[in-house]
A = this chain, B = another copy of it.
Amino acid sequence: MIITCKKGIPETEINKIIQTIEAKGLSVHPSKGEHLTIIGIIGDTTILDEKTLEANHYIDKITKLSAPYKQVSRDFHPEDTIVDVAGIKVGGKENIVIIGGPCSIEGIEQIDRIAGQVKEAGATMLRGGAYKPRTSPYAFQGMQLEGVLAIEAASQTHKLPSVSELMDVDKVEEFEKHIDLVQIGARNMQNFSLLKAAGTMTKPILLKRGLSNTIEEWLMAAEYIMASGNKNVILCERGIRTFETYTRNTLDLSVIPIVKKKTHLPIIIDPSHATGDWELVESMSLAAIAAGADGLMIEVHDTPECAWSDGAQSLKPDTFKVVIEKGKVIAKVIGRDI
Contacts and interface: CB of A to CB of B under 8 A. Distances in A.
Interface of A: 2, 4, 7, 27, 29, 31-36, 38, 40, 42-43, 46-47, 49, 51-52, 54-57, 61, 63, 65-66, 68, 75, 133-140, 167-170, 187-188, 190-194, 196, 211-212, 214-217, 220, 223-224, 227-228, 240-247, 250-254, 256-258, 261, 274-276, 278-280, 283-284, 286-292, 304-314, 326, 329-330, 332-334
B49 A40 contact: no
Given A2-B40, A254-B275, A329-B333, 20 more contacts: A31-B42, A35-B75, A51-B310, A56-B305, A133-B192, A135-B220, A137-B227, A167-B192, A167-B193, A170-B170, A187-B192, A191-B194, A214-B246, A240-B242, A243-B243, A256-B283, A261-B279, A286-B291, A289-B290, A290-B290
A242 B137 CA distance: 26
A31 B313 CA distance: 27
Given A36-B65, A136-B223, A224-B137, A280 B307 contact: no
A196 B134 CA distance: 12
Copies of this chain assembled into the complex:
4
Given A49-B309, A287-B291, A2 B261 contact: no
Contacts of A311: 51-52, 54-55
A333 B33 CA distance: 40
Nearest to A285: B290
Contacts of A65: 2, 4, 36, 38, 61, 63
A207 to B, nearest CB: 14
Contact of A283 (B134, B228, B291, B307): B291
A-B pairs, top 8 by smallest CB distance, nearest first, are A55-B311, A33-B42, A212-B212, A54-B312, A287-B287, A290-B290, A29-B31, A187-B190
Nearest to A217: B135
